């Protein structure tokens, strides 16, 4: 009789980072903190950086996301429509 493969229990090591209505990236839990992967151009400056906590990661993302919105006229979500 054939045995079914055994899989380890599922755990969530990835957290979606949202600012307001925008999904701006993913945080991957590592041994020493959370590594951020940007999904929007304004946050590429912190892409792949390691943060000690999700709180610190969200704060850094919010500061840069807000700065990116202030730096562009019109809609930050659809920069092409701002022209």
Show pLDDT as tens, one digit a residue, over the chain (83 residues). 567 777 776 667 999 999 999 999 999 999 999 999 999 999 999 999 999 999 999 999 999 988 876 665 544 444 443 33
Q: How long is the chain?
A: 83
Which tokens sit at 15?
Answer: 């957290």
Q: What are the extents of the domains in the chain? A: 14-73
**Partners of 16 in the β-ladder:** 26
Query: Whole-model pTM above 0.75?
Result: no
| pLDDT confidence of residue 13 | 92
Measured CA to CA, the distance from residue 31 to residue 40 in angstroms comes to 25
């Amino acid at each position: 009789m054939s045995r079914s493969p055994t899989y380890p229990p599922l755990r969530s090591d990835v957290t979606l980072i949202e600012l307001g209505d925008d999904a701006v990236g993913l945080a991957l839990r590592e041994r020493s903190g959370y590594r951020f992967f940007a999904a929007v151009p304004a946050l590429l400056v912190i892409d792949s950086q390691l943060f000690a906590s999700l709180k610190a990661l969200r704060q850094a993302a919010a500061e840069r996301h807000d700065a990116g919105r202030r730096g562009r006229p019109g809609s930050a979500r659809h920069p092409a429509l701002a022209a």
